[in-house]
Amino acid sequence: MSSLKRITALSDEISKNSKTVTDYLSEKGLEAASFDVDGLAEFPINPSDEEAFKARLALIAATRELHDLSLGPKEGLRYLAWDSANQLSLQAVYEFKLAEAVPLSGSISYQDLSEKVNVPMLNLRRVIRHAMTNHIFHEPEKGFVAHTRTSRLLLEDLPLSSWVGFMTNDLWLPIANVVKAMKKWPGSGESNETSVNLAYGTDTNWFDWLQEDKDLAKRYGLAMQAHGGGEGFAISHTVNGYPWGELGEATVVDMGGSQGYVSFAIAEQFPKLNFIVQDTAGMRVSSTIAKVPEHLTDRVQLTTHDFFTPQTVDAQVYFFRWIFHGFSEKYCIKILQALTPALKTGAKIVINDGTLPEPGTAGYVEEKSMRTMDLFMQITVNAREREVDDWAELFKQADERYKFLKAWKPEKSRMWFIEAEWTG
């Protein structure tokens, strides 16, 4: 397609998809998301409303491409490289607690704000004015700062503001050390040979290291909550995306199942299933242990088991959600091998995890999200997201008696199901 035609096609697509979205919202008497301080922080489009849901994703992809095309490759690359300044202004907003210091209604002068947060006026004003180019705060009249819906989220949504702090504060130095780590430890799958180790001068792996700092551990936990609340990661996809009902009366071992919240959700909907939720001893101390809801106590048990040690529980299904993407091949193979002592012929291994789409096959939003997640797994733990073929290979390498069955992505989910069977 000629470059002129591409621009016209994109703008037509944008106009068509905006109309689909706005028609859908106005028919329901709803508003769109907005930067207005009292506006909506999210589009109220139910994923089951296929047309509007898909139109919005197409709108994001087309506006992004048209934006980049309008810049052109040369200017685009210049911008791309120095857009790390976005991280800088966002970090300053987080670190100086500016969302708390700006009043929710009305505005505050830069001078008063500067005194309130104890940051010199000129430095403060420039980071805020840069943040404003990303819709964080606005300047209703010259010299005054007021909230937008985006900055208000930093004030009111603790998991999301923790995500911001975690990414801009805690992971910024590691990000700057990834290439250095790749040169120092080429191809390493060890979780203590990462950019985090270089950035913070530690030999300890990421999870142990972050537990040493209570504030960081808390911020990480909240940030992961914000990530789990992101589009496509809801537990409902785990509950509805696998034919749990076809298992009949069965026991599922939820390995690395944390405090059991995923098992609770599946158990609620499938009354014939029993769950053994295994996690490390550290997750079973009184300060972290969740209560099993009263009506599920006879079907869900929280237990302790290290998945690198031989499995002893006899079950029909061994379930892993968000486990394998946190480990390199060597360790994933160890986890699968440690299962084999307990496996009976026909036992299923069910994995619910990220999977990289074949390049160009997923929409822009999903592709970008999964590619970014893949990089973050490298940054923190030298792990990776996998393609479908990689999953099949993983089972093969662990033990020839594993038979890889299939991998699929429930519609609208960003997480996949990967299923294998024990034939031994």
Binding site for ligand SAM (CB under 6 A): 256-258, 262, 279-280, 283, 306-308, 321-323, 326
SS3 397: helix
325 in catalytic set = yes
Rounded to whole angstroms, the Cα distance separating 319 from 255 reads 6
β-strand pairing of 416-422 with 348-353: antiparallel
- Report the run of H or E that residue 408 belongs to, with start and end: strand 402-408
Read off the amino acid at residue 253: V
249 torsion bin: left (phi>0), alpha (psi -120 to 50), beta (else):
beta
Residue listed under structure tokens 């822009």: 364
Residue 167 has what DSSP assignment? I
CB of 255 to ligand SAM, least distance (A): 6
Q: Is residue 324 exposed (0-12), middle (13-18) or buried (19+ Cβ within 10 Å)?
A: buried
Angle of CA points 381, 157, 196, to nearest 5°: 20
Q: Give, in order, the Cα–Cα distances in Å from 115 to each of 67, 107, 110, 140, 304.
A: 38, 15, 9, 20, 51
Rounded to whole angstroms, the Cα distance separating 168 from 34 reads 24
